[in-house]
Amino acid sequence: MVLDHRIRSLLQEIARRVAPKIIRLPLKQARRAFHIASKQLPEVRLPLRRIENRTLSGPGGSLPVRIYHPFGTPPFPALLYLHGGGWVFGGVDTSDAICRFLSHYGQCVVVSVDYRRAPEHPFPAALEDAYFTLGWVSQNEELLEIDSTRLGVAGDSAGGNLAAGVTLLARERGGPSLTCQALFYPVTRYGFDTESYRRFGTGYYLTKEEMQWFWNHYLPNPGDPVPSLASPLDAERLHDLPPAILITAEYDPLRDEGEAYARRLKAEGVPVQWKRYPGMVHSFLNMSGLVEQSRQALEEIGQQLHQMLRKAPTSENTDTSIS
């Protein structure tokens, strides 16, 4: 399918800008530029029963979280959400609209966490913050008005990488038990040699150069072997993981590694619901006020989460077609 015309216009506008590339800026300025650019993306923010901010005492100190409560009668299922931004940028503000959709359509309490960011805190700091928050959620049923036996994890881009890592870590450490995982155009492998990188590595919102920069900031020693918790597609085994929702975007350099992860999950017996969204680019879920397909995707994902978090997982693999 051809690139969505509204996204094409957005990419043309980005290409016309004379400002230096964000990765050429000093880190503090780059983070501010990312935050401003994220706020300029048109997004739909759904109303919820309650949204609250808290600060936990995490592995590295203060750990801010934002908690989204849907309308309805508790207890609700719970979903840990991990924002994107290449492990370097982003926070609970940049994933706010997505979390509102997931809470509303998923009928679940969403806990979004401001994990520690690279390069000040390289791997595995963000992953340990995510795992710590998952444990906190599972241990606070009354406070959060949740049923901790129905617990999922989700994330977009680098946050999808962390969500995949958390499922592996929870398996290795014996819990908390997860009902599902939802990975949105995730980073699943260290490497830049896929067909989607070759075709869409420049000019399609996320670039190959940016991903190389992100990885160089995230890994403490870039020359060393990459741990499978940072590159989950390289994990020795992926069985005994929770059922997965995995989405990719047609014009995304990360498309092929995300779809390879879905195939590996399925091959190792993990139930998978997986879909490629045609005409879309990386981060299209942050464009719900610009592209109707973004809003439709968020509604679909929320409804899938609602079903997965309300029902016991099955052992049967489920796939949506990849075009």
Confidence of residue 316 (pLDDT cuts 50, 70, 90): very low
State the Cα–Cα distance between residues 208 and 37, nearest whole angstrom: 19
Q: Where are the alpha helices (DSSP H) in 64-108?
A: 96-106
**CA-to-CA dists, residue 273 to 89, 213, 288, 305, angstroms:** 28, 31, 22, 11
Residue type present at position 219: L
* pLDDT tens profile 260-294: 999 999 999 999 999 999 999 999 999 999 999 99
* pLDDT tens profile 18-68: 567 899 999 999 999 999 989 888 899 999 999 999 999 999 999 999 999
* pLDDT tens profile 13-29: 888 875 678 999 999 99
Instruction: State mean pLDDT over 170-188.
Output: 98
CB-based contact 99:90 (threshold 8 Å): no
For the domain spanning 5-310, the CATH number is: 3.40.50.1820
Given this model, what pLDDT does residue 71 score?
98
What is the residue extent of each domain of the chain? Answer: 5-310
Provide the annotated active-site residues: 157
The alpha carbon of 253 is separated from its chain's Cα centroid by a whole number of angstroms, namely 16
Instruction: State mean pLDDT over 222-250.
Output: 96
**Gyration radius (Cα) of the chain, Å:** 18
Confidence of residue 246 (pLDDT cuts 50, 70, 90): very high
* pLDDT tens profile 117-168: 999 999 999 999 999 999 999 999 999 999 999 999 999 999 999 999 999 9
Indicate the pTM of the whole model. 0.95
Residue closest to 60 by CA, chosen among 7, 11, 126, 142:
126
- Could you identify the residue written with the tokens 């043309």? 12
Q: What is the largest CA-CA distance in the chain?
A: 52
Mean of the per-residue pLDDT values of the chain: 94
